[in-house]
Amino acid sequence: MAGISYSGLVTQIRNYTETDSNVLTTDILENIILNAQYRIMRDVPIDSDRKQQDGNLVTGQSTINAPGGALFIRAIQVYDSTSAVTGANVFLEKKDISYLQEYVSSTESSKRGQPKYYAMFGGATGDGDTNSGRMMFAPVPDTTYKFRVHYNKMPATLASDNTTNYISLNFPNGLLYCCLSEAYGFLKGPIDMLTLYENKYKQEVQKFANEQVGRRRRDDYTDGAVRIPVNSANP
């Protein structure tokens, strides 16, 4: 399927489920389509929404705001430099917030140093530029460090007043199948139909993910691990 518009998607959902506007009302379909998009954003990190933001960690500062509109954080680099995001740097290891809270609870100077860990709290929710959560670091910085956050930004969602977006143009089948899975769940329809479209959606997710990997080399920061070259024997 080529790209699909919002109105086209609404028509398809009603056609596939054999319902009309009395059953799947405008408001219900808006929620179904929105929920489907949020699920897709979680299941398939979209390359075009990958962003980065630089900043400063200052002495004694253990928490800062996440980038505005961040859907989720991919990785954080902290640099030895206090003036530029160049030179030696480390990728921080992600931890649970409770671990970091215990780690920084002591005010001993021995607990301070170059950050090694980070945690999210308040949620990198993507609910808008003012509600993307906060990031906590440990050890607490002993001086000023430059850092770079790699994250996925919340994309513009498909809606009646935004008739196409990246997902509808580049992942139309997956979007339709995800919406149908949501719709059959709402309608409490036949379980075999829900299962059918759930499986079709998962197949589309895998295809789309493979296409993205094929367009780029895997980045070092994708999972926070530095790739190590493997020497293979000559044939």
Q: Does residue 172 have a cis peptide bond before it, meaning omega lies within 30 degrees of 0?
A: no
Cβ atoms of 67 and 53 within 8 Å: the answer is yes
Q: What is the structure's pLDDT at 235?
A: 42
pLDDT of residue 106: 59
Cα distance between residue 118 and residue 98, in whole Å: 11
Residue ranges for the chain with pLDDT beneath 70? 45, 83, 106-110, 123-132, 213-235
Q: What is the pLDDT of residue 155?
A: 79
pLDDT tens per residue, range 1-59: 779 999 999 999 999 999 999 999 999 999 999 999 989 988 886 777 788 999 999 99
Entry pTM: 0.66
Q: Residue 119: what pLDDT?
A: 92
pLDDT of residue 108: 56
pLDDT score, position 220: 46
Q: Where are the alpha helices (DSSP H) in the chain?
A: 6-17, 26-43, 97-103, 166-170, 172-187, 191-215
DSSP state of 5: -
Residue in the structure block whose two tokens are 């977006």: 165
Predicted local distance difference test score (pLDDT) of residue 128: 40
Specify whether the CB–CB gap between 111 and 94 falls below 8 A.
no
